[in-house]
Structure 1
Amino acid sequence: MNNQEKGTGNFLTGILVGSIVGAATALLVAPKSGKELRGDLSEQVDNLKEKSGEWKETVMEKSSDLTSTAMEKTNQIRQTAMDKGANLAETVKDKADQFRNTAKTAVDEVAENAKKGADDLQDTVHKTVDLTADNTKKAVDQAQSAASQADDEVTQKAEQLADQVNNSMNP
């Protein structure tokens, strides 16, 4: 997870906590009866739970989209690399056939070197694609974990606030 993603998570957590504190303060300072105040607090807690659920869904959708995009890009890169490797091997073979009659020994040596280079290139591309796929999966897993943690924190803080409000209303 990069610094920007951590900052965004911290910012969203700050907004959530600030919203909770602000709503609770506004409700506690408002000149209302205990029954009205408890009703308002209950409504605010319900709204907060609903919003946290919506945020969780948004994070999960974005994580799913990121996973799909990463897999699609990985498959595209892999296919392109395989096509290019196959095209390179085919080109080398055609050139070797053209010059075979005049310089058999030299052409065989060049073809062998080119095939080895194509194999090395293909191996390198496969390793790069696999590494990219692994890194992308790790990033998606981290994003999903962070989303789950944020949801757990929001739920816990909302429950704590509800407990505090209930405790202050029922001494």
Structure 2
Amino acid sequence: MANNEDNKMAKGFLMGFLAGSLIGAVIALLYAPKPGKELRSDIKQKAANLKKDAEEYLKYAKDKAVQIIQEGKKQSEEILTDAKKKAEEILGDAEKIITQVKEKTIEEGKKVKEAVQAGIDAYKQERSS
């Protein structure tokens, strides 16, 4: 988020700087005592320089955007990989717990069955005596 705001501020600063430079250059050239042909040539040269500066900034901005996008992709891939690992760990732990609960349930079920059978046997023995 901070990078986005920094980029907006940098873009705004550059655009203001370029516009101010262009206006300042035109005003300076208009007030300079030069013949019309020389003045037009100077204005044309200044405009070409500003265009070149703007193209360089645009290339820089594109390169920076590509870099930021690549970093974002890398970070999201790392987060996704970490999330998958955590999910696998959690599923593994859950499977262990389920297995333990099953085993405990079977064990307790056997104990209950044995206790019921012992109760039945004791009842039968008591009745027959």
TM-score range, shorter chain: 0.5 to 0.7
Corresponding residue SS for 2:34: coil
Any idea what the Cα deviations from partners look like across 1:59-100, whole Å, max 9, x if unmatched? 111111121111111111111111100011112223443454
Q: Secondary structure at the match of 1:40?
A: helix
Query: Which AA in structure 2 matches 1:56?
Result: L
- Distance change >3 Å, CA 104–CA 45, structure 1 → 2: farther
Q: Which has the larger radius of gyration?
A: 2
1:1-171 aligned at under 5 Å gives the runs 5-98=7-100, 100-104=102-106
- TM-score, normalised to structure 1, is 0.53
Taking structure 2 as the reference length, the TM-score comes to 0.68
Over the aligned positions, Cα root-mean-square deviation in angstroms equals 2.6
Q: Matches of 1:85 and 1:20 in 2, distance apart? A: 58
Which is bigger in relative contact order (C-alpha 8 A, separation at least 6)? 1
When the two structures are aligned, how many residues end up with a matched partner? 106
Cα displacement string for residues 14-34 of structure 1 (whole angstroms, at most 9, x for unaligned residues): 111101001111112222222
C-alpha distance in structure 2 between counterparts of 1:94 and 1:65, whole Å: 44
State the one-letter code of the partner of 1:101: E
Gaps of 5+ in 1: 107-171
**For the residues of structure 1 that align with 2:102 and 2:76, how far apart are their CA atoms?**
39
Superposed displacement of residue 6, structure 1: 4.2
